[in-house]
Amino acid sequence: MIRKTALFFILFVVTVFINFFLVIKAYAVFDRQIRIDKILSDISDSKNNPRVQFNQAKAPINVLGLNTEAILKDGRVANLKAFFRKYNSPLYDYAEKIVEEADRHQFDYRLLPAIAMQESNLCRVIPEDSHNCWGWGIYGDTVTRFENYDEAIITISKGIKENYINHGLVTASAIMKKYTPSSPGTWQKGVNWSLGLIE
């Protein structure tokens, strides 16, 4: 009887220690993920602000007493074209329009292509004749269709600004909660991955 009691007591103590260890380990993993998400969010916030990124198109330079001016070319269109070409996307011809609309609505020019990559593999898997690479207004049997990619880019850029950016939803994780609330997190991971590819 004493042996059984001692054995049960030892098993109880071991179980308590194992549970304690697992709880501490789980908390550490959870805490680490929260810190990583915060850092990524902070980086995304500063990096995705076009006013911070591209606010100096010209820089005066004084070389050997001569005043010269260097004009920095905006490489965003070239970045998008390279990205679209790499993945054989029909959006290649619309890179300039995407940058123009992103600037007009003051959000990161990479956001629309990143969402298109996540939603339709850059327009390669979309409802027929919809020009809707972004899953915009597609749910159940409902499909929002656009006459062309220009109309889609203009409409969706305006919608992103009015429905997300203006409400403080500026990171992929924040946008995901409203854009595709049923996603377990894979949507924002895919969008963030694509944002990184375009740099």
Least confident range from 6-10, 43-47, 180-184: namely 43-47
Q: What is the pTM of this model?
A: 0.63
Domain coordinates in residue numbering, the chain: 74-198
Tens digit of each residue's pLDDT (9 = 90 or more) over 39-90:
666 666 555 554 444 443 444 555 555 655 554 557 899 989 999 999 999 9
Judge: domain 74-198, CATH 1.10.530.
yes
Q: Which amino acid is at 20?
A: F
Calculate what percentage of the chain has a pLDDT beyond 90: 30
- The pLDDT, as a whole number, for residue 159 is 92
